[in-house]
A = this chain, B = another copy of it.
Amino acid sequence: MPRSPTPRRRATLASLAAELKVSRTTISNAYNRPDQLSPDLRERILATAKQMGYAGPDPVARSLRTRKAGAVGLVITEPLTYSFSDPAALNFVAGLAETCEQAGQGLLLVAVGPSRSVEEGSSAVLSAGVDGFVVYAAPDEDPYLQLVRERGLPLVVVDQPSDVPGASFVGIADRAAMRELADYVVGLGHREIGLLTLRLGNRDDADADGRAQAALVSSERLRDTPFRAQSERIAGVRDAMSAAGLGDDALTIVESFEHDAVSGGAAAELALTANPRITALMCTADVLALAAMDHLRARGIYVPGQMTVTGFDGVPEAVKRGLTTVSQPSLEKGRRAGSLLHQPPRSGLPVVDILPTELIRGRTAGPPG
């Protein structure tokens, strides 16, 4: 009975060697160091390899031997739906993917969504065959970040938290950037401001009514939030206001629990209801600002004539719609995070990389109406 071209047992480097009566090294060389053997022999090897259905050295075995996985792990602790609906996050991933591509590395999305228990997510982190990790915008004390640290691999943290020992950091100066924007808004004459932020914690921490899309933020909640980037931006607004002699009561902070338009609209409505004298609605994210603008339009409130609206991120749609915002280089953040992993600094020391932001004076901010 003739050999099947696709033998029961998958071909391995060893079986190929046996078949061809050469050593395993030679086969290995045929794939990894073509200059170490005669072209003829190599040709013959590749030919029988194909015929035996051998697609080349097993990646896993190679990884074990070389101690290189050829991939970096990306851990995003927010639900995927959030990240995939946020252009800033998406751009970040694109930038990271780009450098991975250039470095010939894979990008492993490590699954740690809320749909699994912490234990299950943990196993995903622990079983990721990667050479390093990027952790994107994790809250303080995040269990997965903790786990990643324990793996002891090179680690780059993006956006937050900014103080992970041993890890490099890529981010922006959230507080200063937001302050600059707030200085501008205050400079226009606004004295009662609404501030819309993305969620600062678990929904049920904030509101007994689990169905609410948005809620007023208490000072305790603000103090205790593990979402550093958001709270820094809020602090930036406060900085500008107190510099102008405005107290905390002039600022109405509302958090939106979801990343969508409905939630953003609800947050805007809540802010306006809580303090009807608000003349400016600042938002810690463009998605929120766009949702707020839609909501205001539906309510017949004209921007910027009757209400100033500002965002944060500088996503394309926001820029297109003339939103006054702060633009941050999301794509570049991804690239930096990638290079830090692919071409680590010679010192081996963690790097802190604060990228520049830019105030964009759009068409949605003006003097109080």
Q: Could you say how many copies of this chain the assembly holds?
A: 2
Chain B residues with CB under 8 Å of A100's CB are 109, 111
A56 touches B126 (CB 8 A): yes
B80 touches A101 (CB 8 A): yes
Pick the contact of A69 from B93, B97, B129, B150 — CB < 8 Å?
A: B129
Known pairs A126-B55, A129-B60; A108 contacts B106 (CB<8 A): yes
| Closest Cβ–Cβ distance, residue A74 to chain B (whole Å) | 9
* Segment among A20-28, A115-123, A197-205, A301-309 that sits at the interface with chain B: A115-123
Known pairs A101-B111, A111-B101; A106 contacts B84 (CB<8 A): no
| Nearest B-chain residue to A6, judged by Cβ | B152
Most chain B CB atoms below 10 A, which of A73, A101, A112: A101
Known pairs A60-B69, A69-B60; A115 contacts B98 (CB<8 A): yes
A97 touches B70 (CB 8 A): no
Pick the contact of A104 from B102, B123, B152 — CB < 8 Å?
A: B123
A residues at B contact (CB < 8 Å): 10, 50, 53, 55-56, 58-64, 69-71, 73, 80-81, 84, 90-91, 93-94, 97-98, 100-102, 104-113, 115-116, 120, 123-124, 126-129, 147, 150-152
